[in-house]
Structure formats: C-alpha cells, structure tokens
A = this chain, B = another copy of it.
C-alpha cells in the first residue's frame, strides 16, 4: 500500500471540502484555535511514518486522554477495573447522569465522562504523584518527552466544569469515588488538557495495532487481551452518539476529542491520527471523520 500517495490524495480531497461545523468554544483556549488546521499522521507496525499537513502542531487531546487513562489503569490493576466500570455502550449523550441513577453509580463504560472520572479516581489512588506519573506514562508510550499539560486549559475547564463536578459528586454519593472530589476533578481536568501532535498520537496508539507493544520500546505496555478489550470499547463507545456511524463509515476502533483530534487503529497494520478543529453536531471532527472514511474506503481495508 502506498500510504504516502494515499495521504496526499486524502489531503487534497479534504482540503477541497467546505469547512463545516464549529470549533469547540466552551473555554477560550479551545475557541481560539485556527479552524483551518488539518494534519494526518499514519504509522505502520513495521515502523514507517507517513504524514500530511499540520502534523507537528500541538492541540488539546481532550477525551482521547481517556484511552490513555484506561490503558494506564489496566496496566496497573488489570481486570479489577470492571468491578467499578461497565463495558457496554451507553446509548446516551456523553454526559448523561440518568443511567448512573438507575445503575447504582456504575458507569456504563470507561469513555463516558462518568467512567473517565472513576478511572481518574483509580489513578489518584494508585499513583504516587498522580499528575506527574500519568504525564510520564503518556510521554513514554508516545516517545515524546516534551509532552505537557496545558495549565491554562486545565484551569478554564475547572472553572466551567460543573457537569463533571455534578457527576463526580454523584459517583461519590454512591461510593464509587474513593478520593477527594477536588483531587479527582483536578486530575481529570489536567489529563484532558494534555497537548500532543498528530505524530505523538499516532505513536502512542500504535501499541493497539501492535498487540500491546510500542514500536519504539521493547516493553509490553499491556497484554494482547487488554488491547482487544480496549479496541472493542473504542469501536462501540469511542465517538459518543456517533459510534455506530463511525463503526460503519470508517470501520476501525478509534477515539475522538473535542479538540478536533481523532485517532484510529487498523489492527496488525497501522495507527492513524487526524486533526481538524471544526466539530459536527455530535462533537466529532467533521473533516477528521471524512479523512478516515476516505482512508478505509480507498484502501478497502477495515475490520469488517
């Protein structure tokens, strides 16, 4: 497969499309991003890199960070995580608090906000210096020691994150948060504020295409079975209320964030990260979705 040519074609096709949707604007730091940025990085399991556009520019990874916390939690506590979080699609918008009320504070899956908050609580419990240690983990799997939290973003999220504060307090009232509410929220808002490039994201997701091993490391980060679990969750729950649509149009496990990033994985083959800040109505990058749809259509390869 000539991925180099392919990415170039996708880039040209996508650049010709109208820029639809809206840049996330609930905090100023996200609202100020240039709407016309576009980058796409693809990394194969045999170590080849392909890229097009703004692939070396940092952006806010937001909910993509949930895949990193899930990976980190599973590497630390293994399957016991499922005592506190479910593995089924939620069928509701990503902030829904209704389900928690009827299911006793057990979030349906790790990628809805409630699930991510329970994972944050687990990491606050397990790590010596939670924010520092988790950042090290992300640096390690991405192979980039310069990755940082954006403290201004974390601060803004905190000042406006009342829905997350509502969720974490409800989880606490049901006994599914063990640390202080403030500490869990502080960790969560930091994890979402991490800034990475398309290249960093492709690098860090390669382990899901590579049975749990980073390309640039000898270490097995998680087991092949854990890769399967996380991939299955990404496929059914990675795109909020558009997960079914993504599974059909793209046909790869992946995860999006409101910063406009999407990362996906073709098992045994490659990881791919794309970034375009304008979001469709379901909160996923419009052009990012389109670019990945073109990728699997043009290659004729998806998991189906």
Residues of B within 8 A of A98 (CB): 97-98, 101
Does A23 sit at the interface, judged by CB under 8 A?
A: no
Interface residues on A, range: 35 or more
**When chains A and B are docked, how far (Å) is the Cα of A237 from the Cα of B90?**
11
B244 & A109 in contact (Cβ 8 Å cutoff): yes
**When chains A and B are docked, how far (Å) is the Cα of A118 from the Cα of B248?**
21
Among A28-36, A122-130, A223-231, the stretch in contact with B: A223-231
Among A50-58, A66-74, A133-141, A166-174, the stretch in contact with B: A166-174
Residues of B within 8 A of A244 (CB): 86-89, 109, 232-233, 236-237
Given contacts A101-B98, A241-B88, contact A170 B181 (CB under 8 A): no
B96 & A101 in contact (Cβ 8 Å cutoff): yes
Does A235 sit at the interface, judged by CB under 8 A?
A: yes
Interface residues of A (CB under 8 A from B): 86-92, 96-99, 101-102, 108-109, 162-163, 165-170, 172-173, 181, 227-229, 231-233, 235-237, 241-245, 247-248, 251, 253, 267, 302-304
For this complex, 20 residue pairs linking A to B, each with C-beta atoms less than 8 Å apart, are: A88-B89, A88-B241, A88-B244, A89-B91, A89-B244, A90-B91, A97-B97, A97-B98, A162-B170, A162-B172, A165-B172, A166-B167, A166-B173, A227-B304, A228-B248, A232-B251, A233-B248, A235-B236, A236-B247, A303-B303
